[in-house]
Amino acid sequence: MTEIIKRDYSLLGTSGKMAVETGLAAAEWYHTDVARKDMKALMQRSDAPAIRDTILWLGSMVLFGGLGIYFWGSWICIPFFLAYGVLYGSASDSRWHECGHGTAFKTRWMNDAVYQIACFMIMRNPVTWRWSHARHHTDTVIVGRDPEIAVMRPPDLFRVILNFFGILDAWHAVIDMLRNAAGVISAAEKTFIPEMEQPKAIRIARIWLAIYVVTIAAAIAMGSILPLVLIGLPRLYGAWHHVLTGLLQHGGLADNVIDHRLNSRSVMMNPVSRFIYWNMNYHVEHHMFPMVPYHALPRLHAMIKHDLPAANPSMWSGYREMIPAFLRQLRNEEYFLKRELPATARPYREEFHGGALAEAAQ
């Protein structure tokens, strides 16, 4: 009989130590075979798609924000701010992510500039989260190692619902910003941010704090909440789309495995969501080959789909399997959805995942 060990998601806890001892941490992950020539072609950088998308993104924000300001005081401003909010509080998530990988643009400074802007909007310290995300890719959904597990087991569904409005994320982000601005790097942050990088995290936190102080001062001076509706609050009222799409990335799937086909989910999405999400709906593909730019992910998907579980045909389909899995994990945290492979795929490595697969959902 398998002994059930309670998961400890702390980066300083027992599960993380166990992952290091058992070789789950920093392991060699499964990769679908792709010819070097093809992978080189997929990894090639280009500025054009990201320049186009960035002009569209920031241009739309100026347009919707401008119309929202113009109609401020009337109900007509609401749809414009709702659109502005999604571009601020959700599209920034994918821009932060893709530019953090350094793959969105070919030109380095363009990646860095959009990365800084997006990090501010999504309220993620650009230094802390660069390192946190590197760890997420090294140890994807390895309990106690991955700092970016969105839904832990058993799931805290109240927390998930609150995050559709950015409430807990923004709260923690503000606390982290204030702590970093005071010159304090937490013990957990120290586990993945090298010492030489820590002063940069503190400097950024102080700059952001100054921006928020000026924004709040402007709101007080104007006697209006409008400055905060434009800066800061969209992280709350525009967060829902990045949570809606982001939960699908790993929700309800296996943990403590070293095959992204088991712990990640690709989902076909509508063009608007794919623009906001910058093609991260191809999430298995992204984790398997993180240096493939977002605009090449559909080509990568076509090339390797024979070796991957079938992508969910829609977000609805993803939620239809994920929510029941979350509910079942409330009673049994060992439960997860096993992704079935097509006949053309190389099988999961039983030597690594035999135990996990045996416990998977039937």
Partner 1 sequence: MSNNWIEVCAADAIDEEDVIRFDHDGRTFAVYRSPEDDYFATDGLCTHEKIHLANGLVMDNIIECPKHNGRFDYRTGEAKGAPVCVNLKTYPVKVEDGTVFIAL
Judged by beta carbon, residue 196 or residue 221, the one nearer partner 1 is 196
d(CA 212, CA 232) in angstroms, rounded, equals 8
Whether 283 and 264 have beta carbons less than 8 Å apart is answered as yes
Minimal distance, residue 85 CB to partner 1, in Å: 30
Report which of 17, 274, 15, 313 is spatially closest to residue 149, judged by C-alpha positions: 15
Whether 47 and 110 have beta carbons less than 8 Å apart is answered as yes
Judged by beta carbon, residue 26 or residue 341, the one nearer partner 1 is 26
Minimal distance, residue 299 CB to partner 1, in Å: 16
Minimal distance, residue 45 CB to partner 1, in Å: 7
d(CA 308, CA 20) in angstroms, rounded, equals 27
Judged by beta carbon, residue 40 or residue 306, the one nearer partner 1 is 40
Whether 206 and 181 have beta carbons less than 8 Å apart is answered as yes
Judged by beta carbon, residue 151 or residue 303, the one nearer partner 1 is 303
Which residues bind to partner 1, rule: CB under 8 A? 26, 39-40, 43-45, 101-103, 127, 130-131, 134, 137-138, 194, 196-197, 289-291
Minimal distance, residue 67 CB to partner 1, in Å: 37
Indicate the burial class of 318 (C-beta count within 10 angstroms; 0-12, 13-18, 19 or more): buried
Judged by beta carbon, residue 137 or residue 299, the one nearer partner 1 is 137
Minimal distance, residue 102 CB to partner 1, in Å: 4
d(CA 134, CA 44) in angstroms, rounded, equals 21
**DSSP reduced 3-state for 267:** strand
